[in-house]
């Protein structure tokens, strides 16, 4: 039983600490998110262009 309580307290503390750090660095989080979205869209576009050039075996 004590093990579950310790895990709950540790999880709660880590979650609170993680949210606090993210909120303190919110501008950096937004910048990184936008950068990854841009890169993801570019790679997705390249994959679609590549896939459109493949010949199908009908």
Give the range of the structural domain holding residue 9, as residue numbers without chain letter: 2-53
C-alpha 58/C-alpha 52 separation (Å) is 15
Instruction: Tell whether 49 is covered by a domain.
Output: yes
Number of domains in the chain: 1
Q: Give pLDDT, residue 58.
A: 59
Instruction: Tell whether 13 is covered by a domain.
Output: yes
Q: Give pLDDT, residue 54.
A: 84
pLDDT digit string (tens) for the chain, length 58 residues: 889 999 999 999 999 999 999 999 999 989 998 889 999 999 999 999 998 888 776 5
Instruction: Tell whether 15 is covered by a domain.
Output: yes
C-alpha 45/C-alpha 49 separation (Å) is 6
Instruction: Tell whether 58 is covered by a domain.
Output: no
């Amino acid at each position: 039983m004590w093990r579950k309580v310790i895990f709950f307290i540790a999880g709660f503390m880590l979650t609170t600490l993680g949210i606090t750090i993210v909120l303190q660095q919110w501008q950096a989080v937004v910048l990184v998110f936008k950068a990854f979205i841009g890169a993801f869209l570019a790679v997705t576009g390249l994959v679609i262009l590549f896939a459109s050039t493949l010949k199908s075996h009908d």
